[in-house]
């Protein structure tokens, strides 16, 4: 879809293109770009256009790197960072990260797992810089991509970045937890922000057989929507991918970090520092206390993310281990909102 896009991004285009090609080779070498269509998207969509500035941490705060810095060394550092396979802090408020551009290799894995087909309509929750929406638009076409964010400053900057790169998907300012009913139905929904649960409103806006991919409890849940959309019979079920995923929380939802730190008191250090156990602990929060969760995790041979799954219906949401009808099932959300 991107063959007719024209690159006109100012000085340094050749250097940027070379850096972009190197990033694509790095991601592909890790097996995350086996699909030629996604490889072409990452090759052609210029990430640096979407991160005209970003922040790097330093003791006591952040430094801002800018593409129009008068210092050529700092400009070179900015461009190098834009094409590094790492997340970039793009918005910081009162010392707190509120928006970022995700690690490109993780984006590639998520887009591959989204399993889009030609003609699919996609809703992205969390517009960020607009880069992910551009990759989707390159693959599917502008008219089939919608990205939504609660912050009007974020959607406006994403819209500018997209236009500068030659892409014009629908960019909507609104509450991503409510979806985007005016653009529904969707064949795929992808969230680029961490969620405490999957909103039922998304199911109502999905076509039958739709796929939802979302960060949940430091993992990525891949759900298939079953039954007639928008009815009491609609439900979704699926498993977590093995991949870890850490995202900025969906605005308006609690991160739970302080509560988790309190809950970890008294556990062995090897448990506190184990990423897979912390994933399980977050997933079963509110049902199992930390010691119960740790005993179960050890008894079940320290299960990884891919052994867990989620079932969602109008009666509630449940996380489970191995089998949705098995002995280990926990309510994921009290209100199912």
Structure tokens at 27: 């991601």
Residue corresponding to tokens 């960019």: 171
Structure tokens at 202: 């998304």
Phi, psi angle pair for 28, to nearest 5°: -65, -35
Question: What is d(CA 216, CA 300) in angstroms, rounded to the nearest whole number?
Answer: 21
Q: What is the DSSP letter of 306?
A: G
Q: What is the DSSP letter of 250?
A: P
Phi, psi angle pair for 42, to nearest 5°: -65, -30
Q: Which of 99, 100, 102, 285 is catalytic?
A: 99
Q: Dihedral sign, CA of 30, 35, 39, 42?
A: negative
Find residue 215's DSSP bridge partners. Answer: 220
Q: Is 102 a catalytic residue?
A: no
Structure tokens at 332: 């994921």
Which helix (H) or strand (E) segment is 278 a member of?
helix 275-283
The strand pair at 235-240 and 219-226 is best described as antiparallel
Instruction: Judge residue 32's burial from the number of C-beta atoms within 10 Å of its C-beta, 0-12 exposed, 13-18 middle, 19 or more buried.
Output: buried
Question: What is d(CA 315, CA 172) in angstroms, rounded to the nearest whole number?
Answer: 30
Which of the residues are catalytic?
99
């Amino acid at each position: 879809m991107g063959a007719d896009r024209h690159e006109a991004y100012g000085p340094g285009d050749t250097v940027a293109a070379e850096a972009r090609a190197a990033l694509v080779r790095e991601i592909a070498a890790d097996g995350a770009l086996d699909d030629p269509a996604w490889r072409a998207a990452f090759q052609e969509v210029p990430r640096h256009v979407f991160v005209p500035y970003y922040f790097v941490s330093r003791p006591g705060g952040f430094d801002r790197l800018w593409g129009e810095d008068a210092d050529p060394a700092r400009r070179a550092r900015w461009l190098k960072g834009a094409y590094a396979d790492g997340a970039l802090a793009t918005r910081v408020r009162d010392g707190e990260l509120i928006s970022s551009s995700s690690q490109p290799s993780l984006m590639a894995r998520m887009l591959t797992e989204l399993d889009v087909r030609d003609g699919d309509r996609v809703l992205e929750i969390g517009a960020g810089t607009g880069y992910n929406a551009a990759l989707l638009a390159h693959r599917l076409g502008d008219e089939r991509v919608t990205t939504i964010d609660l912050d009007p400053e974020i959607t406006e900057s994403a819209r500018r970045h997209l236009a500068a790169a030659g892409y014009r998907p629908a960019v909507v300012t609104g509450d991503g937890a409510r979806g985007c009913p005016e653009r529904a139905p969707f064949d795929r929904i992808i969230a680029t922000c961490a969620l405490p649960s999957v909103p039922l409103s998304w199911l109502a806006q999905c076509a039958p057989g739709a796929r939802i991919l979302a960060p949940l409890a430091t993992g990525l849940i891949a759900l298939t929507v079953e039954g007639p959309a928008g009815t009491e019979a609609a439900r979704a079920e699926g498993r977590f991918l093995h991949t870890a995923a850490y995202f900025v929380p969906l605005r308006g939802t609690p991160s739970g970090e302080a509560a988790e730190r309190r809950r970890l008191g008294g556990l062995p250090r090897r448990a506190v520092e184990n990423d897979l156990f912390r994933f399980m602990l977050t997933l079963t929060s509110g049902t199992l206390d930390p010691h119960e969760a740790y005993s179960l995790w050890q008894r079940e041979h320290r299960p990884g993310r891919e052994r867990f799954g989620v079932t969602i219906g109008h009666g509630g949401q449940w996380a489970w281990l191995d089998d949705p009808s098995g002995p280990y099932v926990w309510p994921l959300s009290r209100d199912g909102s």
